[in-house]
Amino acid sequence: MNARVTVVLVNWNGKAHLQAFLPFLFRTEYPHFSVVLIDNASTDDSVAWVKAHFPQIHIEQLDRNTGFAEGNNTAFTRGLVKTPFAVLLNTDVEVSPDWLAHLVQVMDEHPDVAAVQPKIRSFHHKERFEYAGACGGYLDCWGYPFCRGRIFDDAETDTGQYDTEADIFWATGACMMVRTSVVDKIGLFDAHYFAHWEEIDFCWRAQNAGYRIRVAPCSVVYHVGGGTLPKSDPRKVFLNFRNSLVTLLKNLPLSEAIPMIFMRLVLDGVASVKGLLAGDVVYLWTIARSHLSFYTWIPYAIRSRRKLKQRPYRSLQGVYDRSVVWHYFVRKTKTFRELK
C-alpha cells in the first residue's frame, strides 16, 4: 500500500541524534510512511551517515541553515509531501512502536482536526513529561504557553492523569502530525520566525480558520529536548520573547491585541528586572533586544494580519481565562490539575 504519512526530519549537525533515534523510527509498527530529511547545511558527516545506513530516506540538502521553520516548510514547497498527513519530528525523539497508528486514527476519525500531537515524555526521565509539549499546549489570558503536565519549568510525573484525548490550543513542533490539505490552505510555519513559536502560530491560524488541534495521549514519544539550543541560551530566550509578541499581533483581533501586548511588555519587564536582581544582566539585555526587534517587526505583523482571519481569543479551544503567571509565581501552583 502507498504511504499515507510523510515523516519530515530537519537536521543540523545532528549525527548523534540520528544514530540514536532513526532505528526506533524504522521499528514503527504502522507501515504506511516514508521519511524525508531536510538538511540545514550540516558541517558534520550526518548526511553521509544517513545515506550509508538508511538509503530509503529522501535527503534534501540546503545550502544554508534555514532554521526549524523554513526547514520544515521546504518539505512542502519542494513537493516532497504527497501524502494526506505529515509528521514534523525532531531528530532527538525516540518513538514507541505504536506511536504513528494512534495519530493517524485521530486524523481519520476527526476530519476537522488540523494537527495532533502525542504525549511527550522526557528521554532522560521517562516517567516525567517533557518541557516541549508534554500532554498538549494551552495559552493563558495573557498569551503565555503552558501544557497539560508542564507549567513553566515544572514538569509533572506522568501517572496517567492526562490520558484522555482532548482539544488543545497548540501542538508541539517536536512531534506534530499535520493534515496536508490544511497546510495547502493556510501555509505551514512562518519562516521569518527561524525557530520557536512557529507551531503555536500555525495552530492559532488553523483554529482561526475553523479547525481543531488535538492531543492523543495513547501515542507516546520520548524527547531529549534542547538538542539545538538549551532553554537558557540567549538566542532561544530572544526568539521566544520576540516571536510570542509577533504571534499575538498577527492573530488577535486588534481590540484584544493592543491590551494583551501592553501587558506582556509589562510582565516581560518584570521578568527582566527579576533577572537583573539575580545578577543575570544578559537575560535583561536579551529581553530588551527582543522588544526592540519586535517593534521593527510591527509592519510585517500588520501586513500578515490583512491575510489572516482573527477570531475572539476566548472563543478558541485551549485558552485558560486566568493568568498562569499569577498562579505559578504568586500562588505557587505547579500542576495543570491545580489550575482547574
pLDDT digits (tens, 9 = 90+) for 37-80: 999 999 999 999 999 999 999 999 999 999 999 999 999 999 99
Report the percent of the chain where pLDDT is more than 90.
93
Q: What is the pLDDT of residues 261-284, one digit of tens each?
A: 999 999 999 989 888 888 889 999
Burial class from Cβ neighbours inside 10 Å (0-12, 13-18, 19+) for residue 13 reads middle
CATH superfamily of this structure's domain 5-223: Spore Coat Polysaccharide Biosynthesis Protein SpsA; Chain A (3.90.550.10)
Contact present, 172 and 132 (Cβ < 8 Å): yes
**Each residue's pLDDT tens digit, 88-101:** 999 999 999 999 99
Q: What pLDDT does 227 receive?
A: 46
Indicate if the pLDDT at residue 310 is higher than 70: yes
pLDDT score at 226: 62
Q: Cell numbers of 315, please?
A: 472563543
Q: Which of 5, 57, 64 is nearest to 36 (CA)?
A: 57
Q: What is the pLDDT of residues 314-337, one digit of tens each?
A: 999 999 999 999 999 999 999 999
> Is the pTM above the cut of 0.85?
yes
Q: Which residues pair with 214 in a beta bridge?
A: 116, 167
State the chain's mean pLDDT as an integer.
96
Q: Which segment of 48-57, 134-143, 155-164, 232-241 scores lowest on mean pLDDT? A: 232-241
Residue 86 predicted with pLDDT over 80: yes
Please give the share of the chain, as a percent, with pLDDT higher than 70. Answer: 98
Q: Where are the domains of the chain?
A: 5-223
> Considering just the CA atoms, what is the radius of gyration of the chain in Å?
19
pLDDT of residue 232: 66
Cβ 122 vs Cβ 155: under 8 Å: yes
- Could you read off the pLDDT of 196-228 as tens digits, one per residue? 999 999 999 999 999 999 999 999 999 998 644
3-state secondary structure of 157: strand
What residues does 119 pair with on adjacent strands? 220
| Residue 1 pLDDT | 55
